[in-house]
Structure 1
């Protein structure tokens, strides 16, 4: 405790950093940021931008950068991303945008690296934004990403053409809307864990991802399923699996 107080007093540690060390989280006007989640859970807290003001998103991102040297922001609007880019330019942090997901890092951040590959597959272009969110989480975790887009089962040949790539991945995330058939088909062709992500595309009865979710839950091939449009959750699950694979490879036989 004394060392923390002395560090704050001499300016080598900010009050927010000290609070993160003591409590594991930092409290600000925009809410509490869980700075210890990476150590506790293996996945950092993501800042869900949806439903928050521009000022709240920037404040939470700044807190994340101050206490963990990186920030992961999901479902950000163009206005929020513009503000984050301005913050990045004024603070010498890097910013990488993947669709509506943003990764920010300070110069002191040491990028994680995993000896594992996550395959991310989409049935069609409309599934891209959800897959982008999953990809950002896996990239932040340090996994190698192999992205395969637009291989839906309406033209099964394009799915089968990529089977060898699917089999080389250590874990697969497969995003699909409509009836959600693609994850169930791929899961029957590989011995890799498959995480199905139903996407809210389609229309009519069972639209908005409901038919895709039901189809994946009823799959006769073995796969895991996350909620509709839950790209972050799929990415987090895949990252945890990738880390386990990487640790096993590092430990050797």
Structure 2
């Protein structure tokens, strides 16, 4: 239940259209919902503006069906990340309103109309797109308008310079890069908006599975750069959307 839904319910009680007992029934699961294997934070949408997000990878199909079913029941949007194809097929069959994005491994059911601002998602290379799409789709699920600026890494920095104005026009940017992770500093130095850097595990041996990019981004000399964990596109997209939402309200 979000703030708009709660306000409407209280107005209906005040106007005599909904009984107190019926309202209590709707509010019973407001703080959380006990499923035995999960305790859903159904209050998060009200206090945070977006509901709890479900990490799909370690959960069983049965657990996911129960969790998504409860979120649908309380009329909250659904976002399941890191979802394997077989689990996605089961969710799509049970909840045909949902959409599975295979590249990002995200299952999304739209409910309500969350609002946020503009987010640019930038990648160093094509190989970084799966993580970037996780960021982009997360930000879109939160109501952001996303501009994708892909394959503009520092090995051909003229590509980035040509699209600087596009990135600058956003309220926040997510920069996704593997290898040496230099793109985050390059973007940070070119634009005057918050930059959320996401290192990826893309790269050769001394990349150490993304550690080299992570350390480069953490040590960025561009003061508008903050860094997420390796391959955490979800975190980058979520944080950038939050920033854009605040900016969009001003």
| Fold similarity call, TM over 0.5 | yes
Match of 2:238 among 224, 236, 239: 236
Q: Which residue of the partner structure matches residue 78 of structure 2?
A: 71
- Unaligned runs of 5+ residues in structure 1 are 249-253
2: distance between equivalents of 1:166 and 1:70?
28
Q: 1:5: how far off?
A: 4.5
Distance (Å, rounded) in 2 between the aligned partners of 1:243 and 1:6 = 33
Distance 2:135 2:50 in 1: 13
The answer for unaligned runs of 5 or more in structure 2 is: 1-18
Give me the whole-angstrom Cα distance separating, in 2, the residues matched to 1:5 and 1:55: 32
State the TM-score, normalizing by the size of structure 2: 0.86
1:7 CA drift (Å): 5.5
TM-score by length of 1: 0.85
- Residue in structure 2 matched with residue 245 of structure 1 by the alignment: 247
Q: For 2:206, what is the secondary structure of its paired residue?
A: coil
Q: Retained in 2: the 8 A contact 1:30–1:59?
A: no
Matched, 1:95 2:95: no
Shift of 1:30: 3.4
In structure 1, what is the Cα distance between the partners aligned to 2:179 and 2:155?
11
Contact 2:92–2:100 (Cα < 8 Å) also in 1: no
Output one character per residue of 1:18-74: Cα deviation in whole Å (capped at 9) or x when no partner. 4422xx111114311111112222332110001111111121111111123321100
Separation in structure 1 between the aligned mates of residue 124 and residue 184 of structure 2, nearest angstrom: 9
Of the structure 1 ranges 53-62 and 209-218, higher mean CA displacement relative to structure 2 is found in 53-62
The CA deviation string for residues 177-230 of structure 1, in whole angstroms up to 9 with x for no partner, is 111111110100010111100111112123211000000011111211111111
4+ runs deviating over 3 angstroms: 3-8
Does the 8 Å CA contact 2:51/2:77 hold for their aligned counterparts?
Answer: no
* Cα deviation code 1:118-154 (max 9, x no counterpart): 0001111221121112112211121111011111111
> Residue 217 of structure 2 aligns with which residue?
216
